[in-house]
Amino acid sequence: MAELAAYLRVPANTIYKWRHLGEGPKGYRIGRYLRFDPTDVLTWLEGRREVSADD
Between CA 52 and CA 21 the distance in angstroms is 26
Q: Mind listing the pLDDT tens digit for each residue in 1-55?
A: 889 999 999 999 999 999 999 999 999 999 999 899 999 999 999 988 875 555 5
pLDDT at 39: 96
Cβ neighbours for 43, distance < 8 A, ≥ 6 positions apart? 25
